[in-house]
Amino acid sequence: MKKYTPLLLILIFLMSHVNLYAQKEKKNILNAESIIDNYIKSIGGIKKLQKVKSLQKKVSIELKGLSSLKINSEIIYQSPNLYYSYVNREIADLKQVYITKYNGKNCTISQIYNDNETNTIIQEELLKEKIQDFYPFPILTQKLNGTKFELKEIIQDETQKIYKILQNQADIRDSIFLYFDSKEFLLRKKEKINPNNTTIIEYYDYTEYDDIIFPFKETKTIIINGKNAQSSSSTINQITINKKHAIDIFE
């Protein structure tokens, strides 16, 4: 029978636990669901996010190559599934306003140009796609609704690994890819791809507000037939949480 010294037994014990920890850590990191869970935890956690019954953002937007065009936006999300957005575009004496309203059942988009107003009702497949953006924390909502996530690729950049995850939703025609960093598990990029165009949103300047982490800056690029059609950047100027908004603004 072999005899082991106390020191050797301690070393064997430590090595076995290190190996078990490494295997557990590897399993957690390489699993898409655990990456999503870590992301939700990193921005505040499920309990804090679910306490947000309304979220209001005021945003300024700049279009690349059109510095004279001033764009301001206001977005309101309110529990359980109400949404309102107001986008004001001004250049010289011209003013254009887009208003989107969703009352949980019906969605309308109004366009006001030089006091002329047109209204469009969004229905069926298009509405299913737009609803994805009508929640303050869409990835959390998708997780709670049973959306499946699949880890497609691990990308090594200059400083860390980036996890590319496919968001599987049967009722959405577009392919949606989410990119999370390996250090903080924050969402760094979102790609929405269909046969004709691709929309890429990149997220920056994550900042804590009321115990929740928000990306205060975004860049958005629209690619049509392989060519950059439009690039813009947006900055959050103000966030208001849990202010009760009258139901009328969503109607």
pLDDT at 61 over 50: yes
Q: Please tell me the number of Cα atoms within 13 Å of 234 on its side-chain side.
A: 19
Note the pLDDT tens digit of each residue in 102-145: 999 999 999 999 889 999 999 988 898 889 889 999 999 999 99
Residue ranges making up the domain that contains 77: 9-250
Sign of CA dihedral 149, 153, 157, 161: positive
pLDDT at 23 over 60: no
For range 195-201, the mean pLDDT:
93
Q: Which of 89, 114, 111 is nearest to 98 (CA)?
A: 111
Quickly state the pLDDT bin for 16 (edges 50, 70, 90): low
* Residue 150: predicted pLDDT: 96
pLDDT at 26 over 50: no
DSSP-assigned letter for residue 250: G
* Residue 18: predicted pLDDT: 46
Q: Which of 191, 185, 194, 182 is nearest to 213 (CA)?
A: 185
Q: What is the pTM of this model?
A: 0.85
pLDDT at 230 over 50: yes
Quickly state the pLDDT bin for 21 (edges 50, 70, 90): very low
Confirm whether 3 is domain-assigned.
Answer: no
* Residue 27: predicted pLDDT: 43
- Structurally, the chain folds into a number of domains equal to 1
Confirm whether 1 is domain-assigned.
Answer: no
* Residue 68: predicted pLDDT: 86
Confirm whether 97 is domain-assigned.
Answer: yes
* CATH number of the structural domain spanning residue 143: 2.50.20.10
Confirm whether 4 is domain-assigned.
Answer: no
| Class of residue 83 by CB neighbours under 10 A (exposed 0-12, middle 13-18, buried 19+) | buried
> What phi-psi label fits residue 54: left (phi over 0), alpha (psi between -120 and 50 degrees) or beta?
beta
Confirm whether 122 is domain-assigned.
Answer: yes
